[in-house]
């Protein structure tokens, strides 16, 4: 489920810090004197800055972003704990990032504790409410997840991320009609929400509703780099009786994403069903 809540401004904040550090490095390096070489990687620059300003919580947060992107989630969590030890009352994003770091290490109890700490301090903070709802959804805690989403809707009835999560929630609870309605509200508010368009396509395909094709088209217009989108649309085309178009789209999929093996498999199946035996053998081979 691709519903992870990206914190607005995290990357921008990190780039600002790195840009300032880089500028300082350039200026200090222009003075001559044969000093030692300034560290060049973003991680080294952040660590150097922390050595100079050990009580700057934003530097530890920036460090955690880099460590998380490197897959070093345990170290990222430690950096966030250090940031929170300096300032835990003004930055809800630290708590959210700590919860995500714990979740990446399969420590769901600690992840819940971290996000609940954020909600105690910032009960009306929508990103914290969304992250708490997402975590409950991952853990199959449907009723608590819905209660958290209701709190978001009270503050912002059209919040697209909340409707997207609600779509997942209704789908997991078997309420397909409400899931479709929730995903539709998400894209009505944010038309560039590619994942919601894809979900609509998938759900409507499962319901044998041909409108799914147009939803896949919307998703592909927003991002044509995901092979699964081509695959799902091609499957839907065949389901709705457009086998020739499905075969052509599977051919495009195989050509553009040669490492995506399911594309070759399903193309071969369609060719075999169309009595194109030789072409099918070539793709299976």
The pLDDT tens digits of the residues spanning 101-136 come to 999 999 999 999 999 999 999 999 999 999 999 999
Q: How confident is the model at residue 276 (pLDDT cuts 50, 70, 90)?
A: low
Rounded Cα–Cα distance for residues 148 and 93 (Å)? 17
pLDDT at 102: 97
The pLDDT tens digits of the residues spanning 145-185 come to 999 999 999 999 999 999 999 999 999 999 999 999 999 99
Closest CA to 264 of 278, 240, 281: 281
The pLDDT tens digits of the residues spanning 44-72 come to 899 999 999 999 999 999 999 999 999 99
pLDDT at 24: 46
Residue 29 pLDDT > 70, yes or no? Answer: no
Q: How many CB atoms lie within 10 A of CB 89?
A: 8
pLDDT at 11: 54
The answer to which of 17-31, 78-92, 136-150, 214-228 has the lowest mean pLDDT is: 17-31
pTM above 0.75, yes or no: yes
The pLDDT tens digits of the residues spanning 227-241 come to 999 999 999 999 999
Query: Mean per-residue pLDDT for 257-285?
Result: 76
In angstroms, how far is CA 56 from the centroid of its own chain?
Answer: 28
Main-chain dihedrals φ then ψ at residue 243, nearest 5 degrees? -65, -40
């Amino acid at each position: 489920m691709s519903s992870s809540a990206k914190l607005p401004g995290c990357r921008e904040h990190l780039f600002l810090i790195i840009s300032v550090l880089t500028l300082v490095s350039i200026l200090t390096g222009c003075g001559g004197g044969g000093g030692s070489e300034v560290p060049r990687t973003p991680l080294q620059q952040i660590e150097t800055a922390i050595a100079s300003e050990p009580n700057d919580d934003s530097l530890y947060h920036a460090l955690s972003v880099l460590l998380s992107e490197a897959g070093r989630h345990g170290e990222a969590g430690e950096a966030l704990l250090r940031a929170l030890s300096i300032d835990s009352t003004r930055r809800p994003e630290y708590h959210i990032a700590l919860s995500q770091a714990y979740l990446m290490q399969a420590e769901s109890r600690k992840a819940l504790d971290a996000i609940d700490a954020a909600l105690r301090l910032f009960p009306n903070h929508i990103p914290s409410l969304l992250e708490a709802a997402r975590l409950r959804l991952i853990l199959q805690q449907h009723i608590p997840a819905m209660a958290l989403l209701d709190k978001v809707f009270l503050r912002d009835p059209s919040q697209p991320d909340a409707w997207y999560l609600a779509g997942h929630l209704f789908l997991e609870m078997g309420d397909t009609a409400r899931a479709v309605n929730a995903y539709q509200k998400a894209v009505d508010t944010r038309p560039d929400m590619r994942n919601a368009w894809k979900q609509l396509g998938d759900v409507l395909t499962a319901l044998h509703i041909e409108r799914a094709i147009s939803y896949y088209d919307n998703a592909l217009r927003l991002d044509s780099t995901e092979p699964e989108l081509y695959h799902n649309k091609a499957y839907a085309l065949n389901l709705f009786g457009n086998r020739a178009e499905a075969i052509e789209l599977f051919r495009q999929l195989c050509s553009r994403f040669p490492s995506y093996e399911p594309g070759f498999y399903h193309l071969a199946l369609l060719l075999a069903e169309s009595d194109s035996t030789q072409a099918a053998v070539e793709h299976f081979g």
